[in-house]
Each structure stands twice: as C-alpha cells, then as structure tokens.
C-alpha cells in the first residue's frame, strides 16, 4: 500500500448519478445500485487508508434532464469526486443501448488517467457494463479488478422466461446474450467479486461457467442506522422529536385507526411491493385460518402505493385484488389494514417503530428473498422478524439472531411462528435487542468499509506475488504507455529490416537505453503472427505496440494484448462479406492466401493499372460501401474499414495515450507508408526508398535519409535531435 493511501476508481456507468438528492426511481436504471455506490464511495473516502475515490459515470447533456449530469469533474467532498465521461453522444440512453459505446468510454478514461497522472491502485466495476470497463483498465494497467454484479443476466433471463416472455423478445429488449457473455468474461478476469449474500455468490453466480474463477466475498450493504434508530429512543426523547416526526406518527395512526376496531393490539407488519413472489396471500391465509392469532394481534399490509387497482399492471392488479378477496373471505374487517398510500421516506422507519412499541412482529413471507433489506430495517429499530427460509434472511438471522425462519408455503407454520414470537415476552426482548445491536455490528457502511478494505489490502499483497488465472496477460503495458511522452514507430520490411542490416543492432541498443522514455513499435502490412516471427528472427523484441495488417489491428506489450478499443472503433460500417462479394466479381483481382485475410482486411494481388484501380473505387462507391484502399509495391491491394490505416492507428495511439503526435518519429520506405509519414509526426524516409515516395521530398517534417534501413533511422534521430528532446 502506498504511504499516502490508496486511489480507488469506481465505475457505475448507467443511470443518473449525482450525489445531492439522487433521482431514485426516476427510471429503471436509477435505483438501488446508484444509492449503494454513492454510499460506498462516501464511506471509503473517509477511510484512513484511502487517499482518493473517483466515481466514474456517464456524462449526459440532455435537455429533458438536470444540468447536474454535465459537470465533468465534481468534488463531492474531500477525497471523493464524481467523474463524468462521455460515450455514445450526449443524450441519455437506457443501459441496454450502451454496449457499443463502452470502448469509447475506456479510451477516454485512459486519457483522463494520463492527464491526471495518477494510475489507480484498484478498479471496481458495478454491473456488467462498468465491469467490462474496469476489466479492460485492470488488464491495461496491471491492477486488481473488483466486481459487483448487482444483478446478473442469467438469473434475469430465467426470470423473464418464467414470466412467459419469448427468447427473441428478451434478446431484443435486453441484449441479454451479450450481457451474459460479458459477465462470463468478467468472472474469468475478476480478482474479487463482492456479493450481498452467500446465496447470491453460490446460486446466482453458480449459473456461470466461470463461476469458480474469482474469489468471492460476501459484504452486505450498509444500512443508515441514523434513520432506523431503536424504537425506544422515541419514548426517551419524546420532547426532542421534530414536528415532522410527530406529524408522521399522527398520520400513520390516523390511517391505521380507520381499519382497526382495537388499535392497541400488537401489530403484525408486512411491507413489500405488490408482486406475486412476495407471497402476501400466503400471509393472509395464515392469519385468516388462525382465530387465536387474530385475537392476539392486528395485521397491517403495506403493499406499495395505489390509486385505482383496475388501472394497474397485471401482476400488481392480481396481487391486490386477491388481497381484497381474501380479506373478505376470512372476514378480516376490523383486524386487517391495507393502507392505500404511505410516504416511504418518513413513514417507513416510523412504521417499524410503532410496530415495535406495540410488541409486534415484522413478517416477510416471500417465496424467495435474495437479500431482504426490510428485515434489516425492522431488526435495526428492534422489531423481531419472521421471514422466509431463503438466502437473504438466512444470512441476516445467522448474524443477528433477530427472529425466526419459516417455510413460506406452510400457512400453519407461519401462524405458529408469529404466535410464538408474540406470546413469549422474553424471546421477543431477545430478538429485539439482538437486532438493534447486531445490525449495527454487521450491516453498517462502516463495517462494510472495514471488510472491504481488508479484502483490498489482501488483493494488493497477493498481486505482488501471484500469477493470474486469466487469459488476458497481466502485462501492465498501460502503466508504461501512460508514462511515455515519445514514440518511435517504424515500418518493418525494407525500413527497419532490409538488405543492409548492419546497423540494426546499434539502433536497437539506443531504443533499449532510452526505454524508460521512448515507446517503440512497428506498423506493418504483415499479420501479427508473421510480424512476430520475422522480428524474432532478427532479434527485435520487447515492442510496446504492433500495428499489423496495414493498420487494421493493434497489439500491446509483450503478451500482444489485442487493442479492443481500436477494433470497435474501426468496425463502424464495415461489411467484409459484402465488399468481398462485390470484388470477387472483378477478373483482374487475385484473392491473396488465407493467412493474409483478416477480419478487417481483404487483400488481393493486382497488376498495376490505372483503370483497374478506378473500377475498384467505382464499384465500392456505387454500392455505398465505406472503405479505405491501399495499393502498394505495384501489386498489393488492401481494402480496410474506412477508419483504418497505419497512419490512423498511430493517431489513435496518440489520442488514447495522450502522447502528442509531434513526439512520434515515424519511419517508412514505400507507398504504403506514405499516409503515416505525412502531417504532424516527425517522419523519415530511409535511403533505400521506393520511387513513389519521391513526391514527399521537400515537405516539412519529412526527412530523407541518405543511409539505408536502420541506418536511415539512426540518421533521423540525429537530424531531429530526438534523443536530446527526450532527455533534456
């Protein structure tokens, strides 16, 4: 750990993220995850071994939304900033549409890192989209990668199928296959996955092929215990209570008293969304069948807000209608309350407290309960809990000892469990006290942060020694590139290596000596495999970058890590099949051997002929295919995406890694180097150049060497005083 503390980068890209008054529930993408991430960042920033937390989200400038989302860097408090990075334009879009723009997000984040001159110690992605971004950064910079899924594609797909949706529809609406593929990849590469419950770690992640790859740590989210304070504090501090709280209580009582004949009885409280899986009907059956329970306690069910049930969505309408029918069937008038509306922010904590003051019980009868935030809230104020025997409650009860588990499908047992809690005063007190104490011990952001930091410190220790399982090599090339300000990029054939290689070793020695300040790469028509093989034969090793296949591919570092950002960038409007189909019809073109054909490069041999070249252009233009065409050595014809070429790849490197174009020395010998030699970079044409480059003579920043091959490059280093500039 650095002496001055850790720098953590958090990623939560979709939805609307702002620290003040976050717009919870404004749309489906702005919900619990965002609240969670904001709280986590705030508490981490306050931790003594953390120097800085940056929360990365999307920059959004959209007239239907607040201006708050247009602030690129926002200081929230000391050591905590929100950083907004643009991708896919400025308009708001739902998370399913963000996938194609994430590589742009990554490139811009790398620029940010370079500009700030601060590489994070850890990256942490939330949800698959931000997980993807964090994963790529982790592999570029060789730093640990932490992932929190919040929800997972495989479980979601299952749920939607169960709800009766068709596979096609699910795919169209949710891009679920892509999401699942990304999640599999994330699991393969994550160093640590954080879940809220054990069940989430085992069952939800258990659906994944690479389930076993990462380490898991269960750290439940924290609860705000300042809001969910113990019920007895009310009585102690009766006089100090604010008007709002008094008013809230009064309105809760008023509402409940409309339903109850004997309002002072203990209260059985349920609070949930009107969703079938929440099994409200199971609870009413249990209560309705048990006369003794009815004499002991009243039942209050808060099932969301409603105006007109007949206008609600199917699932909700059915749940609420059944609730009313059951109330009637068991004749629960005077004993059961089903309030129409309540104010979540103020009423919910008060509700739990009122139920606790009346020695009641909170019941969660859901068929499945992965987490169970309401249980924690109830326990935190001192209200005992009866809850479904499933992942979330199991964890909570094991930690807190605040109630009893039940089988939600067995009405008799539910009723019996509730009766037992209500009747046994000692037991009630024990559950109540345990809840108040143990929620504070296990479920606050302070305890969350403590466990979190222990895990991170372990990771950083391990990272020093361990070898990763992942297939992405952990060569921290990003760390290196982010520190560089100068680069030499050279063509291979007849430039770096050619007929006269007598000065190659001398050149490579200079590159080695200046390695800490100069990046070194090649740009070639060869494929990656062919380039690597050929360079090795000539003992050229340790390259930072290989731009191969005429600029249609970029690879980084010793592991030749593919540049995914570049691939995504050039893939725009590229239709290989269609172009090949068109060109195959031209008799004067001969398709090159398969080894030369690449996803973003179609190569032919073609004898030099002006008319032929013109007909290729004509054909592609007429058919509205965007492309770039490179003809070289009077015989090679390469068709690439319109955004690809060796020169454009160099410009992309300069942009992404924030290395000024003017600080590149670019070396070439023939027509297919022409485009990368022109413009801003310092260029050299080696002495043995092909005649087609003669036209560049006399141009600014294009130096014609007299020496051949590597000798020419050495001459250019002198000419531009490159080494002096690099080591002032």
Residues 517-546 within binding reach of ligand GLC (CB under 6 A): 525-526
User: Phi-psi bin for 279: left (phi > 0), alpha (psi -120 to 50), beta?
Assistant: left
- Residue 592 binding partner per list Mg ion, ligand GLC, none, with a CB distance cut-off of 5 to 8 Å that depends on partner kind: ligand GLC
* Per rule CB under 6 A, count of chain residues that contact ligand GLC: 10
* Per rule CB under 5 A, count of chain residues that contact Mg ion: 5
For every residue of 326-353, DSSP letters joined together read: HHHHTT-TTTEE--S---HHHHHHHHHH
Query: Per the structure block, which two tokens stand in for 110?
Result: 């790398």
Number of neighbouring beta carbons within 10 Å of residue 299: 27
Query: Per the structure block, which two tokens stand in for 484?
Result: 């560089």
Three-state DSSP class for 192? strand
Q: Which is nearer to ligand GLC, 508 or 523 (CB)?
A: 523
616 contacts ligand GLC (rule: CB under 6 A): no
494 contacts ligand GLC (rule: CB under 6 A): no
9 contacts ligand GLC (rule: CB under 6 A): no
- Residue 491 binding partner per list ligand GLC, Mg ion, none, with a CB distance cut-off of 5 to 8 Å that depends on partner kind: Mg ion
Q: Which is nearer to ligand GLC, 486 or 646 (CB)?
A: 646
CB of 183 to Mg ion, least distance (A): 43
- Residue 525 binding partner per list Mg ion, ligand GLC, none, with a CB distance cut-off of 5 to 8 Å that depends on partner kind: ligand GLC
CA gap 495, 475 in Å, rounded? 28
**Using an 8 Å Cβ cutoff, are 646 and 613 in contact?**
no
User: Phi-psi bin for 52: left (phi > 0), alpha (psi -120 to 50), beta?
Assistant: beta
CB of 525 to Mg ion, least distance (A): 8
- Contact with ligand GLC (CB under 6 A) among 592, 599, 619, 723: 592
Binding mask 466-495 for Mg ion (x = CB under 5 A): -------------------------x-xx-
**Using an 8 Å Cβ cutoff, are 198 and 153 in contact?**
no
User: Phi-psi bin for 234: left (phi > 0), alpha (psi -120 to 50), beta?
Assistant: alpha
- Contact with ligand GLC (CB under 6 A) among 10, 482, 489, 550: 550
For every residue of 630-645, DSSP letters joined together read: EEETTTEEEEE-TT--
CB of 690 to Mg ion, least distance (A): 8
30 contacts Mg ion (rule: CB under 5 A): no
Alpha-helix runs per DSSP H in 337-469: 344-357, 373-381, 391-400, 411-423, 425-442, 445-465
Instruction: Give the residue carrying structure tokens 């051997």.
Output: 593
Residues 652-681 within binding reach of ligand GLC (CB under 6 A): 672
Residues 493-512 within binding reach of Mg ion (CB under 5 A): 493-494
Q: Which is nearer to ligand GLC, 525 or 565 (CB)?
A: 525
CA distances from 399 to 36, 196, 227, 438, 498 (A): 21, 13, 21, 7, 71
- Contact with ligand GLC (CB under 6 A) among 136, 494, 560, 603: 603
Q: Which is nearer to ligand GLC, 486 or 526 (CB)?
A: 526
Residues 624-683 within binding reach of Mg ion (CB under 5 A): 669-670
- Residue 68 binding partner per list Mg ion, ligand GLC, none, with a CB distance cut-off of 5 to 8 Å that depends on partner kind: none
**Range in contact with ligand GLC (rule: CB under 6 A) among 148-156, 201-209, 236-244, 631-639:** 631-639
CA gap 570, 599 in Å, rounded? 11
Query: Per the structure block, which two tokens stand in for 198?
Result: 């054990």
Residues in contact with ligand GLC by CB under 6 A are 525-526, 550, 592, 596, 603, 632, 636, 638, 672
Residues in contact with Mg ion by CB under 5 A are 491, 493-494, 669-670
């Amino acid at each position: 750990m650095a002496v001055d503390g850790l720098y953590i980068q958090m990623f939560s890209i979709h939805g609307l993220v702002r620290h003040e008054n976050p717009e919870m529930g404004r749309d489906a993408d702005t919900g619990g995850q965002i609240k969670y991430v904001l709280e986590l960042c705030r508490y981490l920033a306050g931790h003594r071994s953390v120097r800085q937390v940056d929360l990365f989200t999307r920059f959004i400038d959209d007239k239907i939304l607040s201006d708050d989302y247009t602030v690129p860097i926002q200081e929230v408090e000391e050591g905590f900033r929100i950083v907004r990075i643009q991708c896919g334009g400025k308009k708001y879009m739902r998370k399913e549409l963000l996938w194609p723009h994430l590589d742009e997000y990554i490139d811009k984040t790398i620029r940010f890192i370079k500009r700030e001159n601060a590489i994070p110690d850890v990256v942490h992605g939330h949800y698959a989209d931000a997980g993807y971004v964090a994963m790529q950064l982790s592999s570029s910079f060789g730093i640990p990668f932490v992932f929190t899924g919040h929800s997972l594609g495989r479980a979601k797909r299952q749920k939607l199928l169960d709800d009766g949706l068709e596979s096609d529809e699910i795919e169209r609406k949710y891009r679920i296959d892509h999401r699942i593929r990304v999640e599999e990849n994330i699991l393969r590469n994550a160093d640590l996955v954080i879940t809220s419950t054990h069940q989430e770690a085992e069952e939800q992640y258990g659906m994944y092929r690479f389930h076993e790859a990462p380490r898991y740590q269960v750290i439940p989210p924290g609860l705000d215990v300042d809001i969910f304070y113990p019920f007895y504090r009310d009585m102690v501090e009766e006089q100090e209570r604010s008007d709002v709280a008094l008013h809230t209580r009064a309105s809760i009582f008023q509402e409940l008293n409309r339903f109850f004949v004997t309002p002072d009885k203990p209260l059985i409280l349920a609070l949930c969304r009107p969703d079938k899986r929440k099994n409200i009907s199971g609870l009413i059956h249990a209560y309705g069948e048990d006369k003794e329970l009815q004499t002991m306690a009243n039942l209050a069910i808060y099932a969301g807000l409603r105006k007109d049930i007949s206008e609600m969505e199917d699932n909700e309408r059915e749940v609420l209608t059944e609730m009313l029918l059951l109330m009637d069937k068991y004749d629960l008038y005077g004993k059961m309350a089903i309030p129409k509306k309540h104010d979540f922010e103020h009423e919910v904590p008060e509700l739990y407290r009122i139920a606790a003051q009346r020695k009641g019980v909170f019941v969660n009868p859901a068929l499945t309960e992965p987490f169970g935030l309401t249980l924690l809230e109830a326990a935190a104020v001192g209200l005992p809990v009866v809850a479904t025997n499933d992942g979330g409650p199991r964890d909570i009860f094991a930690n807190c000892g605040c109630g009893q588990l039940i089988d939600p499908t067995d009405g008799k047992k539910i009723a019996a469990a509730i009766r037992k809690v209500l009747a046994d005063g000692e037991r009630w007190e024990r559950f109540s006290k345990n809840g108040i104490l143990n929620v504070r011990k296990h479920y606050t952001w302070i305890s969350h942060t403590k466990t979190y930091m222990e895990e991170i410190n372990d990771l950083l220790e391990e990272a020093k020694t361990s070898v990763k399982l992942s297939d992405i090599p952990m060569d921290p090339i990003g760390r290196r590139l982010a520190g560089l300000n100068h680069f030499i990029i050279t063509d291979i054939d007849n430039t770096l290596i050619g007929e006269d290689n007598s000065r190659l070793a001398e050149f490579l020695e200079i590159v080695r000596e200046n390695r800490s300040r100069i990046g070194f790469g090649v740009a070639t028509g060869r494929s990656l495999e062919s380039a690597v093989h050929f360079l090795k034969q000539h003992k050229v090793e340790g390259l930072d970058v290989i731009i191969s296949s005429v600029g249609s591919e970029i690879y980084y570092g010793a592991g030749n890590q593919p540049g995914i950002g570049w691939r995504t960038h050039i893939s725009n409007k590229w239709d290989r099949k269609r172009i090949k189909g068109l060109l195959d019809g031209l008799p004067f073109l001969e398709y090159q051997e398969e080894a030369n054909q690449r996803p973003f490069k179609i190569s032919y041999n073609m004898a030099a002929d002006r008319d032929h070249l013109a007909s290729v252009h004509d054909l592609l233009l007429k058919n509205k295919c965007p492309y770039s065409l490179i003809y070289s050595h009077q015989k090679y014809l390469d068709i690439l995406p319109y955004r690809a070429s060796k020169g454009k790849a160099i410009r992309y490197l300069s942009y992404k890694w924030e290395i000024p174009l003017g600080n590149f020395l670019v070396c070439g010998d023939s027509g297919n180097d022409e485009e990368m030699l022109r413009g801003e970079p310092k260029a050299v044409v080696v002495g043995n150049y092909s005649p087609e480059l003669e036209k560049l003579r006399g141009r600014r920043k294009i130096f014609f060497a007299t020496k051949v091959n590597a000798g020419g490059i050495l001459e250019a280093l002198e000419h531009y005083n490159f080494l002096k500039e690099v080591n002032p």
